Amino acid sequence: MSGRGKTLCIACGAQPTAFPRVKHCFGCWPTGPVTAPPCYQCGSRTQYFVGGLCHRCHRDGHPGVDSCRNCLAWGAKRLNTWYCMGCRSWIRKYTTVADCVVCTRRSHLDDASVCKLCRKQASYYRRPHELVDLIAANRHGQQLFLADMFIQRDRTQPANEPAARPVIEAIPPAARGARQLLLLEMPRDLSRRGYSIAGLAERANETIAAELDQIVGDFGRARGWRRDLIWEVRLGIRILIGFQEQPGDPITASDVTALTGTEIPVNRVLAVLDHAGLLVDDRTQAIDRFFDRQLTELPEPMRSELSRWFTIMRDGSATAPRSRPRSSITIEIYTRAALPALREWVRGDHTSLREISRDDIRVILPPAGPPRFAMAQALRSIFTILKAHKVVFTNPMAHIKTGYQPPKPPLPLIPELLRAALDSPDPARAAVVALVAYHALHHHQIRDLKLTDIRDGRVHFDDGRAVPLAQPVLDRINTYIDYRNRHWPRTANPHLFINSRSAAALNPPGYRWVHLKLDIPGGVTAIRADRILDEAEATGGDIRRITAMFQMSVTAAERYAYAVDDTDLINKANRRNQPRGT
């Protein structure tokens, strides 16, 4: 029992039972879910509680607060019969109920036939020593207010001397509130089975838990969650609420990790808390941990300078010189390429990047080839950003020629690899490979493809293009859609390709999922290059047709046009597609 006359459902453990001596709520009804009947006292269908009554009408319900019945102020309670404290005095003094002469709203009127809301609105606009103009003050609408927030002082009594203001800052934190502080911060481990996890949910604040239960239900039903998944997420959130010292405080992501090792889906709990605005993501990003590990051997001045470069690369700069954030992969590549030079300078007794000269750059750069280009590109990024933000005085990389790294020529794939992938028993793999092999779709186009983009035998893109699909592609997509409907019939994910994780969400599958599904050396890039190269050979290296068909620049199309004349292309392709170790 939780309160008088209220028994929780044995299935969800969150909602009260539908009727006395019944063990299930309407949402968990064995043949349901069943729509709750309207309250027989007020007719409400939105807040059914128990015994045929809603939260507002049942004596043990928790209706919360609502607007005042007289002045519409927010914060009225059922204890005061849904009136604010000011209106309780108002209706005792003025008993006439009629239409207001100013706003024509029916309420309790004073002797001038004016409601309290119009009278309060006029008091806002009245200047000192001016008469109240009710019509002018309410001509453009009325400003509603919070209930019981006005204090009327008795001005007939003499004013008291102002008391000395207490110094709040001098009061220790332990004396400000009547709560017990923690002596030791111990990590929670719920993976042990020595106690009941469901019993921890009983410590949750019932009001907050009930609101979040409703949010979890709406969030889960919008994504096609099963009933048991909704129950598990509700249980996990109730456990986290029970851990809080102050109910209503935001929940950190590190607190949610305490659910790791249990049967509660941590990612779903994080998604609901983020949706409700109660999540504080205090997790350290992978790129932050990687960068901190690389700087452990560097001296402090150089570490601070590189940290400034890392922050600008990760977050961008909103002030001049402005710059956009770069991806984590770019930051990691630049960091790895620059580390050999940084460590060599440290061994040469350099403690700051301000000490690096152009001669130091020339000595440290490799003589030629891709290593020289990669290190020079990383050092150029570091010194250019630090010079622009006035961290270093000069840019030693200026006017240093590092050469140009030519792009690798596109290579064809072995036909047997594509045939095996197209005839794969996995419908998802066959459909993905067919879209890339026949129509040369990009990686992001495959992930972002939605069910509604495949219609009338064409694939429709966001830029307005509609490409007719080949019949082998349509056959494989139809087979995959049948497989998708059998495995995830209740999913609300609009994307064409989903997996076991994204089926319970609305986001597309990750990049790694597409790469693993293809299982071909080079992935989407290799298959797409093979398709473009085949078109270039069929058209004799016509750059105009390549750019029009595959939506690429002239510079990118020249790689495929020049590769047609490469006589050693097949030998290079065979060496690349050869298994490792042979």
Tell me the pLDDT band of 143, cut-offs 50, 70 and 90: confident
The percentage of the chain sitting over the pLDDT mark of 70, rounded to a whole number, equals 83
Whether residue 342 is predicted with pLDDT greater than 90 in this model: the reply is yes
Stronger pLDDT, 205 or 192, i.e. the higher one: 205
* CATH of range 415-575; options 3.30.479.30, 1.20.1630.10, 1.10.443.10, 1.10.490.10: 1.10.443.10
Average pLDDT over residues 90-101: 88
- Report yes or no: 435 and 470 within 8 Å, Cβ to Cβ: no
Whether residue 147 is predicted with pLDDT greater than 80 in this model: the reply is yes
Spatial CA neighbour of 279 closest among 237, 233, 225, 219: 237
Spatial CA neighbour of 340 closest among 376, 315, 390: 376
pLDDT of residue 174: 36
Residues 155-167: pLDDT tens digits?
444 444 444 433 3
Spatial CA neighbour of 143 closest among 120, 109, 173, 159: 120
Mean pLDDT for the chain? 80
pLDDT of residue 566: 55
Average pLDDT over residues 98-111: 88
Whether residue 109 is predicted with pLDDT greater than 60 in this model: the reply is yes
Secondary structure percentages of the chain, helix, strand, coil, to 5: 45, 5, 50
pLDDT of residue 354: 92
pLDDT of residue 243: 81
- Report yes or no: 502 and 493 within 8 Å, Cβ to Cβ: yes
Whether residue 438 is predicted with pLDDT greater than 80 in this model: the reply is yes
Distance CA 380, CA 363 (A): 15
pLDDT of residue 165: 33
pLDDT of residue 259: 84
Spatial CA neighbour of 472 closest among 461, 486, 482, 457: 457
- Lowest mean pLDDT, pick from 14-18, 169-173, 229-233: 169-173
Whether residue 498 is predicted with pLDDT greater than 60 in this model: the reply is yes
Backbone dihedral angles phi then psi of residue 109, each to the nearest 5 degrees: -110, 150
Tell me the pLDDT band of 437, cut-offs 50, 70 and 90: confident
Average pLDDT over residues 100-104: 87
Cis peptide before 38 (omega within 30 of 0): no
Tell me the pLDDT band of 183, cut-offs 50, 70 and 90: low
Residues 194-243: pLDDT tens digits?
445 666 777 788 888 888 888 898 888 888 888 888 888 998 888 888 88
List, in order, residues 6 or more apart from 231 with CB less than 8 Å away. 11, 12, 13
Tell me the pLDDT band of 308, cut-offs 50, 70 and 90: very high
- Lowest mean pLDDT, pick from 188-202, 260-274, 431-445: 188-202
pLDDT of residue 254: 83
pLDDT of residue 290: 92
Stronger pLDDT, 55 or 541, i.e. the higher one: 541
Structure tokens at 513: 């999922």
Domain range annotation of the chain: 1-64, 66-137, 201-280, 286-388, 415-575
pLDDT of residue 38: 78
Instruction: Indicate the burial class of 3 (C-beta count within 10 angstroms; 0-12, 13-18, 19 or more).
Output: middle
Whether residue 132 is predicted with pLDDT greater than 80 in this model: the reply is no
pLDDT of residue 151: 55
- Lowest mean pLDDT, pick from 54-63, 328-337, 377-386: 54-63
The percentage of the chain sitting over the pLDDT mark of 90, rounded to a whole number, equals 19
Model confidence pTM above 0.75 = no
Whether residue 130 is predicted with pLDDT greater than 80 in this model: the reply is no
Distance CA 217, CA 488 (A): 19
- Report yes or no: 118 and 134 within 8 Å, Cβ to Cβ: yes
Spatial CA neighbour of 67 closest among 40, 16, 107: 107
Residues 292-303: pLDDT tens digits?
999 888 998 899
Tell me the pLDDT band of 102, cut-offs 50, 70 and 90: confident
Average pLDDT over residues 389-416: 82
Please compute, for residue 401, the number of CA atoms within 13 A of its CA located in the half-sphere on the CB side: 2
Whether residue 35 is predicted with pLDDT greater than 80 in this model: the reply is no
Whether residue 563 is predicted with pLDDT greater than 60 in this model: the reply is yes
Whether residue 387 is predicted with pLDDT greater than 50 in this model: the reply is yes
- Report yes or no: 65 and 76 within 8 Å, Cβ to Cβ: yes
pLDDT of residue 4: 43
Q: Residue 248 — left, alpha, or beta (φ > 0 → left; ψ -120 to 50 → alpha)?
A: left
Average pLDDT over residues 180-194: 63
Residues 474-495: pLDDT tens digits?
999 999 999 999 989 888 899 9
Between the CA atoms of 538, 542, 546 and 549, what dihedral angle is there, to the nearest 10 degrees? -80
